[in-house]
Structure 1
Amino acid sequence: MTLAAVLLYLATVFATCHADGYIEQVAQQIHLLRPRSGAAGYRLQDVDCLSWRLAVETNNIRNWKLVPEKCEQYVGHYMLGKQYREDCEIVANTAIEYAKSLTLAGDGKDIWIFDIDETTLSNSPYYARSDVQFGALPYNDTKFNEWVAEGAAPPVPGSLRLYQTLLPLGFKIVFLTGTAERFKDIRISNLKAAGYHTWEKLILK
């Protein structure tokens, strides 16, 4: 066997082994239909958090009160991670496309209604607290009201951009929220600090 043939043989073997290793690596990266761990990589027993989340989002699980304890880190990883922001941006893009497709009457009655909690203002800093654990602990009305009273909620990703697009299009903005009337001044201050500076009406509980 000539030297050239030997070198060709070795190169072929190396390339084949490398390709096999690459294929195996790619195969391991394919997302499992039923993952055996949460989004943060923690092994889960009895509860498939991705399936639980899908069932909640499609309303197949109703009237749930708590996030499964084993899914706390999965939910937290999602809420504080890139995927949640991207999901919000897609929703905002769709809403902007719809708004731009409309022909407004221009009579001052073209209203766009926003909710506040988890629509324009995010409560993620509150849910990330150790005494809340992203909904894995029972809801505490007193603690949540204390959070609202801080007036420190940041804007939901994408929502501020949607708001900023709607104003020059001619929409009148209305905020509708279940927040108690006693928090009105705090809500106004929080909205303005987050970038929502103009609206037609703020309706509280």
Structure 2
Amino acid sequence: MKALLPVLQLFILATFVATTHGSFELDIADQIIHLLRPKPGAGGRHVDDNVSCLSWRLGVETNNIIDWTTVPAACEGYVGHYMLGQQYRKDSEVVAHEAYLYAESQNLTDDGNNLWIFDVDETSLSNLPYYADHGFGVEVYNSTSFNAWVLEGVAPALPESLKLYKKLLALGIKVAFLTGRGEAQRNVTETNLKNVGYDTWEKLILKDSFYSGNTAVMYKSSERKNLEESGYRIGNIGDQWSDLLGTNVGNRTFKLPDPMYYIS
């Protein structure tokens, strides 16, 4: 894996505006999701004498390191530099491109039942502005401050996912959003998605009280089962393994990078 760039770079924060389908012509992948000031030495810190932070991230992304509650203190800077740097965007681009190549290769029937499931946070929308302000290694998840951020409704799109979304629609594939956000956040989530370019979808599924106490795997498996029993053939992309594990996962799943937090 390429090392993070060791030089100081500065990118301006891109403004994401919902437009008509003409926005499909924009080079979405070149848009920026947060002010970037990576520092030298991002890959040099260690969790212990034997395991580097890069190796820790590999373990997280391959689901070999599970049930962790926070980024190791020694790796907070590394994770921040990765998320705000070019490598995170490149990794996301590779995943989104492979997802599109798979979708394009299918012999799609024109019956309206082809559906692609997108997770929301760190898949369709990026919360990097929040984490850049609050840190990447918080000891305990602060639901109050995060929910306050969500209710602002200003999360930018992850550009690679938005590009994939546009391309899937052009192939005639419908889109559903399946998120762990609660029903109380439906209106702000709808508005946020539309404002950054996700202007149409088949379903927006949020977690209601029926699933209280259930894991994300159980909740999302159940909702995917409902979709398949309704006749949909599904593809699936998310940043958490809990988006992709369980039952009724679809014909193919695609995992976006996210070493910031773990959801079971």
What range is the shorter-chain TM-score in? 0.7 to 0.9
The alpha-carbon deviation at position 46 of structure 1 amounts to 5.1
State the shift of 1:195 in Å: 0.6
Letter in 2 for 1:176: L
State, as a whole percentage, how many aligned pairs show the same letter: 57
SS in 2 for 1:135: coil
Kindly indicate which of the two structures has a greater share of residues assigned to helix: 1
Residue in structure 1 matching 2:158, options 156, 159, 182: 156
User: 1:95-149: per-residue Cα shift (whole Å, max 9, x none)?
Assistant: 11111111222111111111101111111111111xx311333111111111110
In the alignment, the residues of structure 1 paired with residue 94 and residue 117 of structure 2 have an alpha-carbon distance, to the nearest angstrom, of: 19
**Distance in 2 between residues matched to 1:87 and 1:45, nearest whole Å:** 22
1:18 paired residue number: none
CA drift at 1:40: 3.9
d(CA) in 1 for partners of 2:47, 2:80: 19
CA contact (8 A) 2:96 2:161 kept: yes
CA contact (8 A) 2:153 2:191 kept: yes
Judge conservation of contact 1:127–1:135 (CA < 8 Å) in 2.
no
Q: Is the 8 A contact 2:45 2:78 kept in 1?
A: no
Amino acid at match of 2:152: E
SS at match of 2:65: coil
Q: Following superposition of structure 1 onto structure 2, how do residues 6-17 of structure 1 map, counting pairs within 5 Å?
A: none
Q: Deviations over 1:1-30 (max 9, x none)?
A: xxxxxxxxxxxxxxxxxxxxxxxxxxxxx9
Q: Which runs of 4+ in 1 moved over 4 A?
A: none
**What is the one-letter code of the residue matched to 1:163?**
Y
SS for the counterpart of 1:67 is: coil
Q: Alignment partner for residue 83 of structure 1, among 80, 87, 93?
A: 87
TM-score (norm 1): 0.76
Match of 1:44 in 2: 45
Match of 1:21 in 2: none
Name 2:117's counterpart in structure 1.
113
- Which one-letter code corresponds to 1:168 in the other structure? A
1:198 counterpart = 2:200: yes
Partner of 1:169: 171
Counterpart among 71, 78, 83 of residue 75 in structure 2: 71
Q: Is the 8 A contact 1:151 1:190 kept in 2?
A: yes
The partner residue of 2:65 within 58, 61, 70 is: 61
Q: Give the paired residue count.
A: 167
From 179, 182, 190, the equivalent of 1:180 is: 182
- Greater mean alpha carbon deviation, residues 110-119 or residues 134-143: 134-143
Letter in structure 1 aligned against 2:180: G
The two structures have a TM-score, normalised by structure 2, of 0.60
- AA aligned to 1:150 is E
Which one has a bigger Cα radius of gyration?
Answer: 1
Higher relative contact order structure (alpha carbons within 8 Å, sequence separation ≥ 6): 2
* CA distance in structure 2 between the partners assigned to 1:79 and 1:181 by the alignment: 29
Provide the C-alpha distance between the structure 2 equivalents of 1:133 and 1:184, rounded to a whole number of angstroms. 26
Summarize the alignment of residues 114-153 of structure 1 with structure 2, pairs less than 5 Å apart.
Answer: 114-129=118-133, 132-153=134-155
Q: Normalized per residue, which structure has more strand?
A: 2
The gaps in structure 2 that reach 5 residues or longer are 4-38, 208-264
Let me know the Cα RMSD of the aligned residues.
1.8
